[in-house]
């Protein structure tokens, strides 16, 4: 019998890759997936799977908050870009983790662990609060090391962009671009990757596919339906849209 799995990740490309890797094993039935943590809570409550692959850092609700809202905790495999030593506490009992980008070999080991747990019938649930505290303490001991420049590959050459001159990042056609001095440069990061690697005091995610450099914001205007328009102080007076579900947090972060 195949393992029944539910997938949660706010990055659509990461979700598609994980689904493809799981289905390729021939041992997993993906019963559902979502990029919205609130929908994940409802789906996991209504039809608990054998295993949930759960992203940690997501807007509105993170992976831990999703678990806290469930009436019972499923077997969980966290998918995360956090450094490995910060998640040592999660490699126990019914909790495991995969570092992004997820690779087939590490996924295979995680699936074997799930199968052993289900086969033994001994699904002792770890104390989630203890695990969360261990992670929180570990992350507090680790000072963030944010990027101050970013590389863009042009043919066989690498160009390094000063992040202070990057007005915004956007995703399109399965690529991510950094815009500097009006020119777009492709970079080897997803928007979710950048959200973790850039200083949140300087760069804010305003849409599923967009991050903006706060220093380049010229003005903000309300749009119908609750979204916002951000105009940049670059040569083109570029307009960007703040998604409705991110507008409140965006204004709070800017103190407006």
Q: Which domains does the chain have, with CATH numbers?
A: 3-140 (3.40.50.2300), 149-254 (2.40.50.1020)
The confidence score (pLDDT) of residue 92 equals 44
Which residues face 7 on adjacent strands?
A: 33, 53
The confidence score (pLDDT) of residue 73 equals 78
Q: Count other C-beta atoms under 10 Å from residue 171's C-beta.
A: 21
pLDDT digits 0-9 by tens, 83-137 = 543 455 455 445 677 777 788 888 998 899 888 888 776 555 555 556 655 655 5
pLDDT digits 0-9 by tens, 71-80 = 887 888 888 7
pTM beyond cutoff 0.85:
no
CA–CA separation, 243 vs 132, rounded Å? 30
């Amino acid at each position: 019998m195949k393992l029944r799995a539910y997938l949660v990740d706010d990055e659509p490309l990461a979700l598609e890759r994980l689904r493809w890797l799981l289905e390729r094993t021939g041992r997993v039935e993906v019963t559902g997936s979502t990029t919205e943590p609130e929908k994940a809570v409802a789906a996991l409550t209504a039809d608990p799977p054998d295993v949930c692959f759960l992203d940690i850092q997501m807007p509105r609700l993170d992976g831990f908050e999703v678990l806290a809202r469930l009436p019972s905790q499923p077997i969980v495999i966290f998918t995360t870009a956090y450094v490995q030593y910060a998640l040592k506490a999660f490699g126990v009992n019914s909790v495991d983790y995969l570092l992004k980008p997820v690779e087939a070999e590490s996924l295979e080991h995680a699936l074997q662990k799930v199968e052993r747990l289900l086969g033994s019938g001994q699904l002792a649930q770890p104390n989630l609060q203890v695990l969360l505290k261990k992670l929180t303490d570990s992350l507090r001991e680790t000072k963030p090391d944010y990027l101050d420049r970013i590389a863009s590959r042009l043919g066989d050459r690498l160009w390094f962009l000063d992040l202070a001159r990057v007005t915004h990042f956007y995703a399109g056609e399965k690529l991510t671009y950094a815009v500097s001095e009006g020119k777009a440069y492709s970079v080897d990061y997803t928007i979710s990757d950048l959200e973790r690697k850039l200083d949140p005091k300087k760069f804010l995610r305003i849409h599923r596919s967009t991050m903006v450099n706060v220093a380049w914001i010229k003005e903000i205007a309300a749009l119908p339906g609750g979204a916002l328009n951000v105009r940049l102080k670059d040569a083109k007076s570029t307009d960007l849209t703040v998604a409705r579900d991110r507008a409140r947090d965006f204004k709070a972060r800017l103190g407006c």
